[in-house]
A and B are shown apart, each in its own frame.
Chain A
Amino acid sequence: DAKTTQPTSMDCAEGRAANLPCNHSTISGNEYVYWYRQIHSQGPQYIIHGLKNNETNEMASLIITEDRKSSTLILPHATLRDTAVYYCIVTFSGNTPLVFGKGTRLSVIA
């Protein structure tokens, strides 16, 4: 699996958009970008995933650059409940397990 690089921590004001970057410069053509988050004392929660195109669901938007070497997870209106560790994972979505890095610790501040 390709490795990912994420900032260790970020702060975001409540009500503002949170933009979480992820670099995956060695991603291969058939690898997906997945985002999970983990709120304290809970299991990882699936957020969104994509291959080439930008994706949006009820939780977030995923913007993938044209060369696919980086992506950004956007939480459009962050709330205090969005405070969590966010993991960007690149995977074949096949017979390989999810390989979690250390993620980005997002703190939403009132």
Chain B
Amino acid sequence: EAGVVQSPRYKIIEKKQPVAFWCNPISGHNTLYWYLQNLGQGPELLIRYENEEAVDDSQLPKDRFSAERLKGVDSTLKIQPAELGDSAVYLCASSQSPRETQYFGPGTRLLVL
């Protein structure tokens, strides 16, 4: 069974540029999560989807971050414009339902210069 797929794996951009990350969850997983991991820290939730609906986005900085999960499968996380402090690893995870185990993708490592 294929795991959670994320792309790109690495991204280097200049500040004020836009950037987008893509996630394909495990087949059949209805719940999708985006986490942010700063250097030396554990992951922190940004947003959680149940199918197409964002059910927990309280930690998502809505002034520059946006996310979508059209058709309830793939998801895209966007930052516009990026700031130096956005340099981090962006992780996607999925689970069959909110009550089931979460499985993580490899992450996208973002460096903003």
Chain A residues in the interface with B (C-beta under 8 A): 34, 36, 41-46, 49, 87, 93-95, 97-103
**A43 pairs with B99, CB closer than 8 A:** no
Shortest beta-carbon distance, B44 to chain A, in Å? 7
Whether A43 touches B104, Cβ cut-off 8 Å, given contacts A98-B43, A101-B42, A102-B42, is yes
**B99 pairs with A44, CB closer than 8 A:** no
**A45 pairs with B56, CB closer than 8 A:** no
Whether A100 touches B43, Cβ cut-off 8 Å, given contacts A42-B107, A43-B107, is yes
Q: Which residue of B lies closest to A85 (CB)?
A: B42
**A100 pairs with B44, CB closer than 8 A:** yes
Cα(A103)–Cα(B40), bound, Å: 10
Shortest beta-carbon distance, B49 to chain A, in Å? 12
Whether A43 touches B101, Cβ cut-off 8 Å, given contacts A87-B42, A102-B42, is no
Shortest beta-carbon distance, B93 to chain A, in Å? 8
**B42 pairs with A97, CB closer than 8 A:** no
Chain B residues in the interface with A (C-beta under 8 A): 4, 33, 40-45, 48, 55-56, 91, 93, 98-107, 109
**A98 pairs with B91, CB closer than 8 A:** no
A interface majority secondary structure: loop
Cα(A73)–Cα(B21), bound, Å: 34
Q: Which residue of A lies closest to B58 (CB)?
A: A97
Seed contacts A94-B99, A102-B41; 6 additional CB < 8 Å A-B pairs: A43-B91, A44-B104, A87-B42, A94-B98, A97-B33, A100-B42
Q: Which residue of A lies closest to B10 (CB)?
A: A41
Shortest beta-carbon distance, A63 to chain B, in Å? 19
Cα(A36)–Cα(B93), bound, Å: 13
- Of the A-B pairs whose beta carbons lie under 8 Å apart in the complex, a sample of 20, sorted by A's number, is A41-B109, A43-B4, A44-B43, A44-B91, A44-B104, A46-B103, A46-B104, A49-B101, A87-B42, A94-B99, A95-B55, A95-B56, A97-B45, A97-B56, A98-B45, A98-B102, A100-B43, A100-B44, A101-B42, A102-B41
- Residue picked from A34, A87, A97, A103, most chain B C-beta under 10 Å: A97
**B98 pairs with A43, CB closer than 8 A:** no
Q: Which residue of B lies closest to A89 (CB)?
A: B42
